[in-house]
Structure 1
Amino acid sequence: MKILCTILARGGSKGVKNKNIKSILGKPLIHYTIEQAIASGLFTHIVVNSDSEEILNVASEINGIDTVIRPSELATDTSAKLPAIIYTVNEMENRHNTVYDIVVDLDCTSPLRDVEDIKNAFDSFASNGNLNLITAMPARRSPYFNMVKLDENGSAVLVNRTDSHVVRRQDAPECFDMNASIYIWKRDVLLNSTTLFLGNTGLYVMPEERSIDIDTHLDFEFVEFLLRKKNA
């Protein structure tokens, strides 16, 4: 089985400038994910895709990975991630004259995952015969009781309340927050998909302490604290 690992790292991050290569405990953020991918032992090839030559140069400091430059039209503030992953798969198949069976995307802004999370998510995907798989953590707030929005009249209403018979928090369906850590697809499914949810999408649940995705400076400080604690 041929398995490709993609790691996407756009250069124009707004919340934390240059976050993908920002040093965290003396190491560029992106290096954590590359090292996890290598340590998993799962992948035929590992590739970093970016529109930034600086990011690709930092990624290339670790031997054994490929790099692919991302076209500008796939790297705008409004660009979806899925087309960039598909572009990377096509580039790598042409480069290595191969066809992959499975594609795994690891988000480099989620460095708290364990190598075992990658392995266990893949095992779950394979054993359950999923078309694809996403990762998530138990939701801290239930849309049945805690999450509200303003309707067209400016009134507060519950978000996504689908069952009016649920009157106790304990009776509400279990909910999860996607943590943007690990995505897995069958290759042919990925190349023909426009959405993550395909009717046979697997879910691998990770604890909150391994699920923080860095979007803000506060996220960065949380991750740095947890990494320091983990390393200690």
Structure 2
Amino acid sequence: MNSILAIITARGGSKRIPRKNIKDFCGKPIIAYPINLALESKIFHNVIVSTDDLEIKKISENYGAEVPFLRSAKTSDDFATTSDVLVEVLNTYENQLGKKFDFACCIYPTSPLLKQEYLVKALDLLKSKDADSVFPIIRYSSPIQRALIENPMGFIEMIQPENMQVRSQDLQPAFFDAGQFYFFNVKSFLLKRKMWTERSVGLEISDLEAQDIDNESDWKIAELKYKLLFST
């Protein structure tokens, strides 16, 4: 039986939206949503929060997550990557707690629109495809092959003018990272230290099911989407 870990990454510092990871979102701290989702999915042996912040630790534990250790100063500054945080968590689990995992899922704390079914599908894809990682992607609504730029003279031109007359349905669809979670093979990740590689699989979701939250306007849009998706 595979051992599977959920890691919700939530450091205390947030410059654009103060205390972003525990700010109230439709009635409860935003971090409560991924915690509850991971616990209710029943696919994880441990659901932990990686944080350097004692208030985040307390709130996370109140909602059922584990915080077995605090994040180091090195992985709590503005220069630490998500991969740095995950490596620290996995190594600390092995070296201090004597526990190894086969698969892990990094879930971002500001993912209130995430659906449980996608975590389950991602794990299934990870195993069936023997992939390094699986993460949600969103299709660009317009063909990126017709992207425009402003030239030095201030006029608009196409990056790929050869696609001007090509039908939209004949252009290859393009996608972007939804920024919600990464489900990954632990052994491959520790070897490559990358969230996605040449052996990563995308799980397509709609643009209604995700929202980057970088400012207050994004926050309001995310709340509107949440109400549309989950209101009864």
Whether the TM-score (by the shorter chain) exceeds 0.5 is: yes
What is the CA–CA distance in structure 1 between the aligned matches of 2:3 and 2:206, rounded to whole Å? 29
Q: Is the 8 A contact 2:5 2:45 kept in 1?
A: yes
| Other-structure match for 2:231 | 231
Deviates most, 35-44 or 208-217:
208-217
Q: Is the 8 A contact 1:6 1:46 kept in 2?
A: yes
| Other-structure match for 2:88 | 87
Structure 1 residue 203 corresponds to structure 2 residue 202: yes
Are residues 64 and 211 of structure 1, via their aligned partners in 2, closer, same or farther at CA, if it must alter by over 3 Å?
closer
Query: Which TM-score applies when normalising by structure 2?
Result: 0.88
Q: Is the 8 A contact 2:137 2:178 kept in 1?
A: yes
Q: List gaps (5 residues or longer) in structure 1.
A: none
| Other-structure match for 2:173 | 174
What is the CA–CA distance in structure 1 between the aligned matches of 2:174 and 2:148, rounded to whole Å? 15
> What is the alpha-carbon root mean square deviation over aligned residues?
2.3
Are residues 110 and 163 of structure 1, via their aligned partners in 2, closer, same or farther at CA, if it must alter by over 3 Å?
farther
Equivalenced residues, count: 230
What is the CA–CA distance in structure 2 between the aligned matches of 1:28 and 1:114, rounded to whole Å? 17
Are residues 50 and 144 of structure 1, via their aligned partners in 2, closer, same or farther at CA, if it must alter by over 3 Å?
same
Are residues 175 and 54 of structure 1, via their aligned partners in 2, closer, same or farther at CA, if it must alter by over 3 Å?
same
Deviates most, 13-22 or 58-67:
58-67
| Other-structure match for 2:50 | 49
Map Cα deviations across residues 105-130 of structure 1 (whole Å, 9 max, x no partner): 11111110111111111112211111
Q: Is the 8 A contact 2:107 2:181 kept in 1?
A: yes
> What residue identity is the alignment partner of 1:15?
R
Structure 1 residue 189 corresponds to structure 2 residue 203: no
Structure 1 residue 22 corresponds to structure 2 residue 37: no
| Other-structure match for 1:112 | 113
Are residues 15 and 148 of structure 1, via their aligned partners in 2, closer, same or farther at CA, if it must alter by over 3 Å?
farther
The Cα of 1:154 is off from its aligned counterpart by 7.0
SS at 1:105 equivalent: strand
> What residue identity is the alignment partner of 2:124?
D
Q: Is the 8 A contact 2:5 2:104 kept in 1?
A: yes
Map Cα deviations across residues 52-83 of structure 1 (whole Å, 9 max, x no partner): 22211211112352343222222222321111
Map Cα deviations across residues 169-190 of structure 1 (whole Å, 9 max, x no partner): 2221111121111201111111
The Cα of 1:225 is off from its aligned counterpart by 1.8
Query: Which TM-score applies when normalising by structure 1?
Result: 0.88
What is the CA–CA distance in structure 2 between the aligned matches of 1:201 and 1:29, rounded to whole Å? 28
Deviates most, 53-62 or 26-35:
53-62
Structure 1 residue 131 corresponds to structure 2 residue 132: yes
What is the CA–CA distance in structure 1 between the aligned matches of 2:149 and 2:81, rounded to whole Å? 25
What is the CA–CA distance in structure 2 between the aligned matches of 1:54 and 1:11, rounded to whole Å? 8
Are residues 15 and 164 of structure 1, via their aligned partners in 2, closer, same or farther at CA, if it must alter by over 3 Å?
same
Q: List gaps (5 residues or longer) in structure 2.
A: none
Are residues 57 and 157 of structure 1, via their aligned partners in 2, closer, same or farther at CA, if it must alter by over 3 Å?
farther
Q: Is the 8 A contact 2:34 2:112 kept in 1?
A: yes
Q: Is the 8 A contact 1:137 1:206 kept in 2?
A: yes
| Other-structure match for 1:60 | 61
Q: Percent identity?
A: 23
